[in-house]
Amino acid sequence: MLNLIFLGPPGAGKGTQAHRLAARFNIPQLSTGDILRKAVADGTPLGKQAKGLMDAGKLVPDELVNGIVEEALQDKAAQRGFLLDGFPRTVAQATAFDEMLARLGRRIDFVICLQVPVETLVARLSGRATCPVCQTPYHPLSNPPKRPGICDNDGAALIVRPDDAPDRVRQRLAEFENKTAVLSGYYKARGLLRGVDGVGSPDEVEGRILAVLRDRVTQGPANP
């Protein structure tokens, strides 16, 4: 059982690393951004509420995302563990999540905080191409698909997310600073935070995360 949260600004590599670890450990990647984008694409009531805010680079209301996560955690696959990517993003979400976990008798092992300077974030996001079907992120320089513009997993044509436009990226980085950055203090106070240098190749960053997880094996659970 491995229960991890990936924390970090847009473009830090949360989705990339959560995707790798999900395959490695065979536990689900729960990405609130991916779930919301699917709801928007399917035109569900949730998607209709979220679309305008997402396109503008603003956070959607806490109640909506809390509900999504509570439902995803009940899923059979999530009983083996979870890799949360993009949640929680506000203190209200973090406290709601603590209550959810207490109700379910589960706990967080670590909060992996990916640290990347802002100019690198902007460079990564301005080149990001995303699969509209499986949501895998690519980048022509660091993480190219095998065939340009085509997803390796399902052959779909890659798209540029509307919120990866430069003005939306600025808005999202501001939302992160104003509402999400405070969560590193929240989890540090609980002894769960592990800062990981997010600069380097995806393989190098993955290696650093795996080193943190190996510590768990040698030191025992972070939060017994």
Residue 66: count of CB within 10 angstroms of its CB: 21
Catalytic site includes residue 128? yes
Neighbour count for residue 79 (Cβ, 10 Å): 14
Site for ligand ADP contains 12 (CB under 6 A) = yes
Locus of tokens 């951004």:
33
To the query of whether residue 20 is one of the catalytic residues in this protein, the response is no
158 binds ligand ADP (CB under 6 A): no
Among 15, 39, 46, 81, binds ligand ADP (CB under 6 A): 15
User: Rounded to whole angstroms, what are the CA distances from 55 to 50, 74, 197, 223?
Assistant: 9, 29, 29, 37
Long-range contacts of 213-216 (CB under 8 A, 24+ apart): 213/2, 213/110, 216/109, 216/110
| CA atoms of 111 and 18, how far apart (whole Å) | 12
User: How far is C-alpha 101 from the geometric centre of its chain's CA atoms?
Assistant: 18
Tell me how far apart the terminal alpha carbons of the chain are, to the nearest angstrom.
13
Which amino acid is residue 119, in one-letter code? E
Identified catalytic residue from 37, 124, 128, 194:
128
Q: Tokens for 55?
A: 């396109």
In the annotation, is 168 catalytic?
no
Q: Which is nearer to ligand ADP, 27 or 90 (CB)?
A: 90
Cβ proximity to ligand ADP, 147 vs 221, nearer residue: 147
Number of residues near ligand ADP (by CB under 6 A): 36
Please pick, from the candidates 65, 78, 112, 196, the single residue that binds ligand ADP as defined by CB under 6 A: 65
Least gap, CB of 208 to ligand ADP (angstroms) = 10
Contact map string, positions 125 to 144, toward ligand ADP, x by CB under 6 A = --xx--------xxx--xx-
Query: Closer to ligand ADP at the Cβ: 28 or 57?
Result: 57
Q: Is residue 13 a contact point for ligand ADP (CB under 6 A)?
A: yes
Residue 137 vs residues 5, 29, 149, 194: alpha-carbon distances, Å: 18, 14, 11, 24
Tell me which of 30, 108, 205, 209 binds ligand ADP, using CB under 6 A.
Answer: 205
Distance of closest approach, residue 64 Cβ to ligand ADP, in angstroms: 8
Applying CB under 6 A, does 32 fall inside the site for ligand ADP? yes
The catalytic residues are 14, 89, 128, 161, 172
